[in-house]
Structure 1
Amino acid sequence: SQRRKTLRNTLKKLLSAEHIEAAGADPRARPETITLEQYIALSNQLTQVQKT
């Protein structure tokens, strides 16, 4: 089983590491390790970024 990419690498075209941290997630974390609440916060960050 291969290790998955980190959040920073997966989302680099969409969110900065600062935005990931603002959502309460560690940019070095792997997507399978974050909580549902963190996914929701990441989605909210993405929505804010896309509005600007």
Structure 2
Amino acid sequence: MTSTCRGHGHRLRGRRPRRAGGDLLRKVLPWSLGLLLVMCLFVTAQSTAVLGWMLP
């Protein structure tokens, strides 16, 4: 994720290339952590009776 933000950071206009990667990472990181939390909750729900029907 960090290398992707670094590689595409130069596309942000009005920012220095070195600073743009950090700005992009700060925007992407909360979404990534949120998705991780959702996936953890989903897996936990599958191990209980709530979504246990999804597993064979």
TM range (shorter): 0.3 to 0.5
- Bigger radius of gyration: 2
Q: Taking CA–CA contacts closer than 8 Å with sequence separation of 6 or more, which of the two structures ends up with the larger relative contact order?
A: 1
Q: TM-score, normalised by structure 1?
A: 0.38
Q: TM-score, normalised by structure 2?
A: 0.36
The structure with the greater share of residues assigned to helix is 2
